Amino acid sequence: MFKHTTRTVPFLLAALLFAMHLVLPTIGAAQAGRIAFLPFKANAPQDMSYLTTGIRDMLASRLASEIGLTVIDKTAVDKALAAAGTPAQTEAFIKLGKSLQADFLVTGSLTAMGSSLSLDAKVFEMAKGAPRNFYATAKNESEIIQSIDSLAWDISEKIFSHKRPATALVQPQAVGQAVAQPQPQYATAHPERAFASRTGTGGGSPFIYPKGITSEFQKTQNMKLSLQFMEMADLDGDGQDEVIFADNDSVQIFKRDNNRLSKVGQIPGKVGYRIHAITVADLNKNGKPEIYVSAADAKQPHSFAFEWLGADKATYLFQGIRWYVRAMAVPGEGGVLAGQRADSDKAVAPGIYRLEQAGGAVKAGSPMEVPDSVNLFEFTIADLDNDGSREIISIDQYDRLRVMRAGGTVLWKSDEFYGGTTRFIGGTEAFGAAKASSQEGSARIYIPSRIIVYDVNGDGQQDIIINKNLSTSSRLFENMKNYPSGEIHALSWNGIALSELWRTRKIDGYIVDYLLRPNADKKGAELLVGLILSSSSLDLFAEQTSTMLIYQLDFSKKQEQ
C-alpha cells in the first residue's frame, strides 16, 4: 500500500513548489491561449490531496512556461465547477470550458497501487471537442516530479506540436543516488527448480517461501467502465489482438498500443439483461473469431453471439437464446460451445451440454462429462499430471478450489479462498438484498473467476493461474460482495495438491478478470489484469473506474552458474 509519513509530505510539497518556481519566471511569454485545470481526483485508500493539489499546480506551470498559455485562476475554475457540478460527458466538459472562456481544459486523476503511482490526464480542446488522453507512471513517490514533467512534455508535443529538447528525453539520475537493482520476477531466481522434484528431476526443496512477482507493471489509462469480463482476439485480421471489455450491457472493443487503449467499437446487449461472461473462439472455422456473450435477467438467460465487422457493426450468429453460453477448450476435442439452461425456480438447471448451432438457433447436443456439482462457469478441464486422464478444476460457491475426476471424486480441496467476484445470475436486482427464504429462485449463483491452464515453468506439465480476491466480509455475508484488493497466484499440481509457484504482490482494487498470453518472442508471457479501482460505493450498478495492468513474465529456463 502507498504510504507517506509526516516527513514525506513536507518534502514532496517543497519539491513540487521548488520545481514550479524553476519555471514560473517565464510564464509571461507570448500567450498561446487560455487553459483551465480542474482538480485532480485521487484513487487511493488514503488522503492524497497534498499530492493532487501539487500536481495540478505544477502541470499548469510547466505548460504555461513551455507553451506560453494563460492559466485560468484555479479559484475561478473551482467556483465554476461547483456551480456546474462534476462533468461526466464530453459535452459537459466542453460547456464548462466555454463558460471559463478557455481554449483548453485539463482534468485528471492520480492512482495509487502499492508503492506505484499513475497519472491520467484528459485534455479537451474547445475547438475540436473530443479529448486526448495522456498517462505517466512513477514507481514510487520520489519519482512523481519526473512523471509530471513527462506528462507535461507529452501534452506539449501532441496537443501543441512543441517538441521536447533532447535533454528532456532522458532524465539524469541524481548525483549520489544509488542505482536500484531490479527485483526478480519470482521469489526464487529459478522458480522452475523449486518444483523440479515433483517430476523426479533436480534437487529443488519441497519447502519454498515465494515473495511473488515484482510490483513493477504497466498500466493503461483509467476508463469510466463497469468492467465485468475481458478477452483478447484478432477480430479484424490485421495480426494484432483487440482488447475486448464487457460492461453490464455492452461489449466494447479497443485497439492496444503498448499501454494505451483506443476504443474502436461497441456492440450493445439487450436492455434489461446484464452481461456476466464473454468468451471468444472461431467455432465455425471461417478464420474470424466470434464473441459469445452470456447475459441474463433475474430469471432467464438471454445470450447472443456475433462476429465484429468494425466500429459498431456486427453479424449475429444467434440472439436472445435461453441458454447461458461459454466457448471453451476441451482436451482432445478442441473448441466447443457449452451451455446450461435456467430452471423454473432456480438460476441454473442440471446438465451442461455441447450446443449445436444452425440457422441462427442452438440446440442441445451431447452432455459434457463433468460432475453434477459444477455449473457452466465454475470449471475448466486439464490433464494436470500427464497421465492421459482429465481432471476437472473448479471453484465452488464458497470460493474453494477443487480438483476432481469427471465422475465427481474430489482429489483435493483448498483450505484457502480463491476467486471471488461480484458477478452473479439469478437473485434480486437490488444489491445487498436479503435472500427471501420462501423463494428458491431468489438465490444468487455467483460467477467465479476464470481458471487459466498454462505451463508456467516450461516443464511440460499444466499449471493453474487464478486470482485470490481478498475480503472477509464477502465470505460472511451471502449477498454483500466487495473486494478491495487481490492477488494473482500460479499453482502447480504435485500429485496430491495444488501448491504455489508464485504470486503477484497485493493489487489495490477489485480484480475483475485476467488473461495470460504469450508475448511477441514466445519466451514469456503477458499477464493482463482487469481492475476496478477502489471505491467507497456499494452500488453494484453505479458506473465505476476500470483499468488494465500489464505484467511481463519470463518463463525461460536459466541454468545455475
Reported confidence tier of residue 166, pLDDT bands at 50, 70, 90: low
- Rounded Cα distance, 203 and 194, in Å: 8
pLDDT tens-place string over residues 254-310: 999 988 999 999 999 999 999 999 999 999 999 999 999 999 998 999 999 999 999
Q: Answer whether residue 170 shows pLDDT above 50.
A: no
More confident residue, 90 or 363: 363
The predicted pLDDT at position 204 comes to 34
Per-residue pLDDT band for 412 (boundaries 50, 70, 90) equals very high
pLDDT tens, 469-517?
A: 887 665 555 666 778 889 999 999 988 999 998 888 888 889 999 999 8
Q: What is the pLDDT of residue 429?
A: 53
- Domains (ranges, CATH) in the chain? 34-160 (3.40.50.10070), 211-427+442-554 (2.120.10.10)
> Which alpha helices (DSSP H) does 138-247 contain, by range?
144-160, 191-194
Query: Looking at residue 42, what is its pLDDT?
Result: 86
Give the per-residue pLDDT at 474: 57
Whether the per-residue pLDDT at 200 is higher than 60: the answer is: no
Q: How many angstroms from the chain centroid is the CA of residue 108?
A: 19
The answer to whether the beta carbons of residues 432 and 480 sit under 8 Å apart is yes
Higher per-residue pLDDT: 413 or 128:
413
Q: Is the pLDDT of residue 110 over 50?
A: yes
Predicted local distance difference test score (pLDDT) of residue 478: 61
| Axis-axis angle for helices 8-23, 144-160 (nearest 10) | 30
Distance CA 283, CA 335 (A): 6
> Above 60 in pLDDT, residue 131?
yes
Cα 93 to Cα 122: distance, rounded to the nearest angstrom: 10
Q: How confident is the model at residue 542 (pLDDT cuts 50, 70, 90)?
A: low
pLDDT band at 228; cut points 50, 70, 90: very high
| Arithmetic mean of pLDDT over the chain | 80
For the entire predicted model, the pTM comes to 0.71
- What is the tens place of the pLDDT at every residue in 179-189? 333 333 333 32
